[in-house]
Amino acid sequence: MKKIRVLDTTLRDGEQTPGISLTVSEKLRIATKIDEIGVNIIEAGSAITSSGEREAIKQITSAGLNAEIASFARAVKVDVDAALECDVDSVHLVVPTSDLHIEYKLKKTREEVLSQSIETAEYALDHDLIVELSAEDATRSDMDFLKKIFIEGINVGAQRICACDTVGMLTPERSYDFYKELSTLNTPLSVHCHNDFGLAVANTLGAMRAGATEFHCTVNGIGERAGNAALEEIIVSLDTLYGKNQNYSIEDNGSSIYQTDVNIQELYSTSKFVSRLTGVYLQPNKAIVGENAFAHESGIHADGVIKNAATYEPITPEFVGHKRKFIMGKHIGIKGLKNNLDEFGIKTTPEQLTEIFDKVKSLGDMGKCVTDVDLQAIADNVLELKREQKIKLEEVTIVSGNKVIPTASIKLKIDDKDVLEAGVGIGPVDAAIVAVKKGISEFADIELEEYHVDSITGGTDALIDVIVKLKMGDKLISARSTQTDIINASVEAYLSGVNRLLEEVN
């Protein structure tokens, strides 16, 4: 078994994603989360960048984390001094090595770059810093010069070397050959890949097959341009696709030939956490952690997964802390539909199930996705259940403005009795929900577990899709409303869920 170390650069390379600018508090929270899942090295930032960046790094180094804390540094002493001020454990000492960078960016000679690099590495080592000597644009560098810089760095005491595929020019085949050549230097070797051609993860895996013992990554693959190699994709690939005697059958229990310290079951929650703090939301089909990574609509797929998840899932969603979903649309099969109905406790005859199935298919053909609430309504109609809504919204009024505390007044009809309430909140939606909760407080203690809103169409008159998840006791349900008014949609979704919860409890 081969031990692989993980250097996470979400707080440095990841923060260079256009549009991301993290506060000191946010950087500390992300560092703490990354440390908790078992990452070995956290590149906390580049200390020379600003006083705010140094403050963030200082807070991270003083937080008592288990991971080694590193600062990015150029091959200049002032960068090392800034890192020393922050009390980091190591520097990621980055040196441009391609003629393109040396001539056009640095305007120096190879000899000048080599001399400056070794001098700075010695300076950092003399101040008791661990040095990871990293070659920028290494994959477009002359191999002899690249190896010369690494060898001289190793000779003065650099503990690790790293070759960066700065603009993602490697292919998996070339990655293997490239890092195989560098592995002959017999020093811990790191791989740092960018995703300009969508090959960062594949190239990183190729490098480790060739002898690299550490990889650089970011959570969700965020980073400049097309991003960096994604932590979650590499970790799961190492664990699942590189097993001993791997035959890919459900009976195969062979352990991976690579081992990391990362807690795989925390990958999804970490992905969501970083996405929320950075504001970089994931495309639904993102591997491993995307919302559709374990979602099934096709009837054939849903049927197979219900019988045995391994038929259409290479790993279980629980393995990475995710959840499986069956999507109701025109591709759904009757067994997937029945599975959803069973989850809602709706029992049907075969004839009733077929009628519900036909109605869902018809809506799908119209380009609509059937929500949980829609399915409940369809099933009610087919089963001839005419549910009386215990709580109905009669009226909602909002007062909000630049210097006005958002205030909502609502009128509910509860069992034919009018109930008037008011509430204030941090925004108009919050105020409306507070008022509703006060109106139903005598007979229902409902917790809002999750609130999500999407704009379905463009323009100021866009359709707003609100999804809420509500909990009462051990009952948990989702409800949805789609309207052009976000406040009405939010209140209607909330009340729809409340009515269903009350019906299930009673």
Q: Inform me whether the pLDDT recorded for 174 exceeds 70.
A: yes
pLDDT at 373: 60
pLDDT (mean) for 320-328: 75
Number of neighbours of residue 454 by Cβ within 10 angstroms: 11
Domain assignment present for residue 287? The answer is no
pLDDT band of residue 371 (cuts 50, 70, 90) is: low
Under 8 Å CB-to-CB from 422, ≥6 apart: which residues?
Answer: 407, 408, 409, 410, 435, 438
pLDDT at 445: 85
**What residue has token string 């994709």?**
233
| Contact in structure between 489 and 466 (CB atoms under 8 Å) | yes
Q: Same domain, yes or no, for 105 and 147?
A: yes
pLDDT band of residue 132 (cuts 50, 70, 90) is: very high
pLDDT at 385: 47
Q: Inform me whether the pLDDT recorded for 29 exceeds 60.
A: yes
Q: Same domain, yes or no, for 407 and 342?
A: no
Q: Which residue has the higher pLDDT, 500 or 200?
A: 200
Whole-angstrom distance, CA of residue 96 vs CA of residue 166: 10
The 8-class DSSP code of residue 243 comes to: B
Angle at 272 between CA 269 and CA 276, to 5 degrees: 140
pLDDT (mean) for 98-121: 97
Q: Inform me whether the pLDDT recorded for 330 exceeds 80.
A: no
Domain assignment present for residue 370? The answer is yes
What type of residue is 442?
E
For residue 441, give the CATH number of its domain: 3.30.160.270
pLDDT band of residue 19 (cuts 50, 70, 90) is: confident
Structure tokens at 290: 């995307």
- The DSSP string of 256-285 is BSEE-S--GGGHHHHHHHHHHHH--PPPTT
Write the pLDDT tens digit of every residue in 62-106: 999 999 999 999 999 999 999 999 999 999 999 999 999 999 999
| Contact in structure between 194 and 226 (CB atoms under 8 Å) | yes
| Integer CA distances (angstroms), 366 to 149, 197, 361, 362, 363, in order | 63, 37, 9, 7, 5
Q: Inform me whether the pLDDT recorded for 252 exceeds 50.
A: no
Percent of the chain with pLDDT over 70: 87
Q: Same domain, yes or no, for 28 and 168?
A: yes
Boundary (domain end) residue, out of 248, 278, 308? 278
Q: Same domain, yes or no, for 89 and 220?
A: yes
Q: Same domain, yes or no, for 149 and 272?
A: yes
Q: Same domain, yes or no, for 305 and 223?
A: no
Domain assignment present for residue 290? The answer is no
Whole-angstrom distance, CA of residue 175 vs CA of residue 211: 11
pLDDT at 370: 67
Is 184 exposed, middle or buried, given 0-12, 13-18 or 19+ CB atoms closer than 10 A? exposed
Q: Same domain, yes or no, for 141 and 189?
A: yes
Poorest-confidence range of 74-88, 106-120, 313-327, 367-381?
Answer: 367-381
pLDDT band of residue 269 (cuts 50, 70, 90) is: very high
Boundary (domain end) residue, out of 246, 278, 310? 278
pLDDT at 251: 43
pLDDT at 308: 73
Domain assignment present for residue 226? The answer is yes
Poorest-confidence range of 213-222, 321-330, 402-411, 466-475?
Answer: 321-330
Q: Same domain, yes or no, for 241 and 334?
A: no
The 8-class DSSP code of residue 194 comes to: B
Q: Which residue has the higher pLDDT, 73 or 470?
A: 73
pLDDT at 96: 97
Q: Which residue has the higher pLDDT, 387 or 239?
A: 239
The 8-class DSSP code of residue 389 comes to: P
Q: Which of 341, 333, 338 is nearest to 364 (CA)?
A: 333
Structure tokens at 167: 């603009």
Domain of residue 272 covers 2-278
Between the CA atoms of 26, 28, 34 and 36, what dihedral angle is there, to the nearest 10 degrees? -120
Give the DSSP H/E element, type plus range, for residue 417: strand 417-424
Under 8 Å CB-to-CB from 20, ≥6 apart: which residues?
Answer: 14, 222, 278, 279, 280
Write the pLDDT tens digit of every residue in 294-310: 766 554 554 566 667 67
Q: Inform me whether the pLDDT recorded for 245 exceeds 50.
A: no
Structure tokens at 88: 């980091």
Q: Same domain, yes or no, for 34 and 138?
A: yes
Phi-psi label, residue 260: left if phi above 0, alpha if psi -120 to 50, beta otherwise: beta
Q: Within 13 Å and on the Cβ side, how many CA atoms surround 423?
A: 22
Round the average pLDDT of the chain to a whole number and report it.
88
Boundary (domain end) residue, out of 326, 355, 382? 382
Phi-psi label, residue 10: left if phi above 0, alpha if psi -120 to 50, beta otherwise: alpha
pLDDT (mean) for 134-149: 98
Q: Which residue has the higher pLDDT, 476 or 142?
A: 142
Domain assignment present for residue 308? The answer is yes
Q: Inform me whether the pLDDT recorded for 206 exceeds 90.
A: yes
Q: Inform me whether the pLDDT recorded for 247 exceeds 80.
A: no
For residue 61, give the CATH number of its domain: 3.20.20.70
pLDDT at 63: 97
Count of structural domains within the chain: 3
Q: Tell me the backbone φ, ψ of residue 476, rounded to 5 degrees.
A: -135, 125
Q: Same domain, yes or no, for 39 and 65?
A: yes
Q: Same domain, yes or no, for 263 and 372?
A: no
Domain assignment present for residue 246? The answer is yes
pLDDT (mean) for 447-464: 71
Number of neighbours of residue 234 by Cβ within 10 angstroms: 28
| Integer CA distances (angstroms), 415 to 207, 219, 389, 446, 493, in order | 67, 50, 8, 18, 19
Q: Same domain, yes or no, for 359 and 452?
A: no
Q: Which residue has the higher pLDDT, 380 or 215?
A: 215
pLDDT at 384: 53
Q: How far is CA 63 from the centre of its chain?
A: 24
Q: Inform me whether the pLDDT recorded for 137 exceeds 90.
A: yes
| Contact in structure between 292 and 259 (CB atoms under 8 Å) | no
Instruction: Give the sign of the dihedral formed by CA 299, CA 300, CA 304, CA 309.
Output: negative
The 8-class DSSP code of residue 311 comes to: G
Q: How far is CA 189 from the centre of its chain?
A: 27
Domain assignment present for residue 284? The answer is no
Domain assignment present for residue 187? The answer is yes
